[in-house]
Amino acid sequence: MSDISHDRLLIIDFGSQVTQLIARRLRELNVYCEIHPYQNVTDAFLAEFAPKAIIFSGGPDSVMRDGSPRPPQSAYTMGVPILGICYGQQVMMHDLGGKVEAGEHATAEFGRAYVTPSDTRIDMLNGWFLDGSGREQVWMSHGDHVSEIAPGFEVFGTSPGAPFAITADTTRNFYAVQFHPEVHHTPNGKTLYENFVRLAGFTGDWTMGAYREEAIRLIREQVGDKQVICGLSGGVDSSVAAVLIHEAIGDQLTCVFVDHGLLRKNEAEEVVSMFRDNYNIPLIHADEADLFLGELEGVSDPESKRKIIGKLFIDVFQKYADQVEGAEFLAQGTLYPDVIESVSFSGGPSVTIKSHHNVGGLPEKMGLKLVEPLRELFKDEVRALGQELGLPASFIGRHPFPGPGLAIRCPGEITREKLAILREADAVYIDQIRKHGLYDEIWQAFVAILPVRTVGVMGDGRTYDFACALRAVTSVDGMTADYYPFSHEFLGETATRIINEVRGINRVTYDVTSKPPGTIEWE
Ligand code: XMP
């Protein structure tokens, strides 16, 4: 549990796919919340957490099954408002004396539905049912349904499949809805959260300014007068973490920037000059391109590449970190989604599609303690914090870049020649995207150099050069993605520029695969 001293809302996770979105909606309202899997939420936990309000998430189970998830009973007696969503509604009704029935075809609902209000108005529904249609679109996803509401509750909204779509006990401030207000398909859902937190007495004090102050205090408290090392990748997360920690403890922080020779054009110089020259942060530039590229020679299997890079990264980091005398802490830019994933009761993704590379395992191996000042934040909050800390907007808004770098954008064997061509092509492509004002609309864009040479004709001569693929996607979190619909003019102009300006490429293709079934990177 964190030491954040704001009013806190607790989300008890019963395993819904969209629990994180509840947290997102609340953070957007400047309300501090944490998600905890139901197994961890005991009476003692609740008493210590002392939430100002509780939300029960949805979940895949059935309350009629013995042993299905429950909140601790003290949740109902501690005198704080509760909002139950989907399974959360059913569990609430079941616990408080109502009835839930197994889904039949007639009442199971999946997808869009419309809720109409009862005659009585309640504050929880302020801003709802106002657009003249007299109804609100909501997103349903339930098999079971409540068949009898608990004593003290009344119905304030119904849908064809859910006679108890919106229920409330306004005396106890318990609210329970069958649909999911957190998803985009419930367009007015945010208003419900707004109403709920307002009537629970939240003041919206979760701002980045407040977070920064508090994070600095906590870092100082944790670290004392000890030394901290931070692995800098040039990405937004580790950079924001480094600047924040530097603000807290100054020269007690040393950054280690491992340059594996798989960075983009000018990237190493930019990172070094920003941190060393602009911020005066002690920085070790570990130029280990020869080591990495040497070990990668002749390797073409994507997982082997990742494993080699991951292992070398740890070795190299350790070698340089050992030079920092008295280092006791390792700073990492771990974000909240990583934290939730690692405690998620469904155990996170069940299959490893790609073993993402990070410095996991390093702290134990080196006997270091972790400093993770971004553990409570989502990606866009990290960007807001970066802005608050004065990092340049162009830097904060940068597309994500994978740890293994260009290695996974170079399918097949990696050679210095291919990397040099790829860097140039990528630079032209990104320049095109910026020039056309598209950079911020796109979640991630890059070039992959393909392991194939094709024949072309330039001037009067025959060419036999590499083909490349342009990739650009829109996404919210990288978990799913759509390819970006560039105009043909843009694609044509970009292809021409790459072929004219980059020696070694004579064919340009555009990747129109979404994720799933593709992944964003080519490896
Ligand atoms: P995929 O290719 O899995 O990528 O659809 C999703 C997001 O993750 C990034 N990515 C990585 N990031 N280490 C990282 O730090 C990795 O090994 C790695 N592989 C993919 C990818 O760039 C995209 O943003």
- Identify the CATH number of the domain in which residue 246 sits: 3.40.50.620
Q: Are 449 and 376 in the same domain?
A: no
Atom of ligand 1 nearest to the CA of 481: 5
Place of tokens 């799913």: 480
Question: What is the number of the ligand 1 atom nearest to the C-alpha of 358?
Answer: 15
pLDDT of residue 337: 72
Q: Which of 131-140, 231-240, 418-427 has the highest mean pLDDT?
A: 418-427
User: Could you write out the three-class secondary structure of 329-352?
Assistant: EEECCCCHHHHHHHHCCCCCCCCC
* Spatial CA neighbour of 113 closest among 155, 150, 147, 157: 157
Number of other residues whose CB lies within 10 A of the CB of residue 75: 20
Q: Is residue 517 situated within a structural domain?
A: no
Closest ligand 1 atom, CA of 521? Answer: 2
Q: Is 57 annotated as a binding residue?
A: no
pLDDT digits over 367-377, tens only? 889 999 998 88
Q: Is position 234 annotated in a ligand binding site? A: yes
Predicted confidence (pLDDT) at residue 245 exceeds the cutoff of 60: yes
Centroid of chain to Cα 27: 13
Range of the domain at 327: 208-396
Evaluate whether residue 402 is within a structural domain. Answer: no
| pLDDT tens by residue, 423-457 | 999 999 999 999 999 999 999 999 999 999 999 99
* pLDDT (mean) for 188-214: 94
pLDDT at 352 over 80: no
Residue nearest atom 16 of ligand 1, based on CA coordinates: 356
Distance 514 CA to ligand 1 centre (A): 15
Q: Is 522 a domain residue?
A: no
Confidence of residue 478 (pLDDT cuts 50, 70, 90): confident
Domains of the chain: total? 3
Annotated binding residue at 84? no
Distance 523 CA to ligand 1 centre (A): 9
Query: DSSP letters along 62-111, please?
Result: -TTSTT-----THHHHS---EEEETHHHHHHHHHTT-EEE---TTT-EEE
Same domain, 251 and 186: no
User: What is the per-residue pLDDT for 435?
Assistant: 98
Q: At what angle do helices 236-249 and 379-388 cross, to 10 degrees?
A: 40
pLDDT in tens, 38-54: 999 999 999 999 999 99
Q: How far apart are CA 54 and CA 74, in angstroms?
A: 12
Both 80 and 179 in one domain: the answer is yes
In this structure, the residue with its CA closest to atom 9 of ligand 1 is: 402
Same domain, yes or no, for 176 and 219? no
Whether 463 and 347 share a structural domain: no
Segment among 74-78, 101-105, 451-455, 463-467 with least mean pLDDT: 101-105
pLDDT at 351 over 50: no
**How far is Cα 35 from Cα 316, in angstroms, rounded to an integer?**
36
Tell me if residue 322 falls in helix, strand or coil: coil
Determine the length of the chain. 523
Please say whether the beta carbons of 231 and 317 come within 8 A.
Answer: yes
Task: Enter the tokens of residue 395.
Answer: 């830097």
Contact 427, 263 (CB under 8 A): no
pTM assigned to the model: 0.74
Contact 86, 159 (CB under 8 A): no
| Confidence band for 389, pLDDT divided at 50, 70 and 90 | very high
CA separation (Å) from 190 to 180, 258, 510?
10, 42, 37
- At 263-290, the pLDDT tens digits run 999 999 999 998 988 899 999 999 999 9
Confidence check: pLDDT of 349 > 70: no
| Rounded distance from Cα 445 to ligand 1 centre (Å) | 12
pLDDT band for position 362 (50/70/90)? low
Element (H, E) at 4: none
Backbone φ and ψ for 59, nearest 5 degrees, come out as 180, 165
For the chain, report the end-to-end CA distance as a whole number of angstroms.
36
354 and 447: one domain? Answer: no
> What whole-number distance in Å separates Cα of residue 428 and Cα of residue 495?
10
Q: Which residues, including other chains, have CB under 8 Å from residue 77's CB and lie 6 or more apart? A: none
Task: Looking at the structure, tell me whether residues 190 and 99 fall in a common domain.
Answer: yes
At 475, which CATH number? 3.30.300.10
Is 236 annotated as belonging to a binding site? yes
Which residues are known catalytic residues?
86, 180, 182
Contact 39, 249 (CB under 8 A): no
Q: What is the pLDDT of residue 434?
A: 97
Task: Please give the number of the atom of ligand 1 that sits closest to the Cα of 399.
Answer: 24
CA of 167 to the centre of ligand 1 (A): 42
**Of 409, 417, 489, 496, whose CA–CA distance to 444 is shortest?**
409
Q: Whose CA is nearest to atom 6 of ligand 1?
A: 478
The two tokens of residue 337 are 């989604």
> For residue 386, what pLDDT is reported?
96
SS3 (DSSP) at 511 = coil
Q: Where are the alpha helices (DSSP H) in 205-353?
A: 208-223, 236-249, 267-272, 289-296, 302-321, 336-343
> Do residues 191 and 259 share a domain?
no
Give the binding-site residues of ligand 1, using a 6 Å CB cut-off.
Answer: 306, 354, 356-357, 400, 402-404, 444, 478, 515, 519-521
List the one residue out of 276, 475, 462 whose CA is nearest residue 380.
Answer: 475
Structure tokens at 100: 């839930």
Classified as helix, coil or strand, 58 is coil
Shared domain check, 325 and 276:
yes
Of 199, 229, 245, which residue sits at a domain end?
A: 199
Which mutation among 356, 447, 514 tests ligand 1's pocket best, with the greatest number of atoms within 8 A of CB? 356
CATH code, 31:
3.40.50.880
Same domain, 352 and 481: no
Domain annotation covers residue 442 = yes
- Distance, in Å, from the CA atom of 238 to the CA atom of 274, rounded to the nearest integer, reads 13
The Cα 66–Cα 75 span in angstroms is 20
Report whether pLDDT(139) > 70.
Answer: yes
Q: Report if residue 3 sits inside a domain.
A: no
Residue of 21, 2, 3 whose CA lies nearest to 11:
21
Indicate whether 13 belongs to any domain: yes
Of 199, 225, 252, which marks where a domain is finished? 199
Q: Tell me, yes or no, whether 272 lies in a domain.
A: yes
Do 370 and 430 sit in the same domain of this protein? no
Is 401 domain-assigned?
no
> Pick from 143, 176, 199: which residue ends a domain?
199
**Percentage, residues of the chain above pLDDT 90:** 75
Q: Whose CA is nearest to atom 7 of ligand 1?
A: 478
- Pair 34, 176 in one domain: yes
Model pLDDT, residue 477: 75
Residue whose C-alpha is closest to residue 446's, from 357, 355, 519, 337: 519
Looking at the predicted structure, is the pLDDT value of residue 89 above 50? yes
Tell me, in angstroms, the distance from the centre of ligand 1 to residue 476's CA: 14
pLDDT of residue 357: 41
Average pLDDT on 123-144 reads 92
Does the structure show a pLDDT above 60 at 21? yes
Q: According to the annotation, is 204 in a ligand binding site? A: no
Span 136-159, average pLDDT: 93
Show the tokens assigned to 302: 């994507």
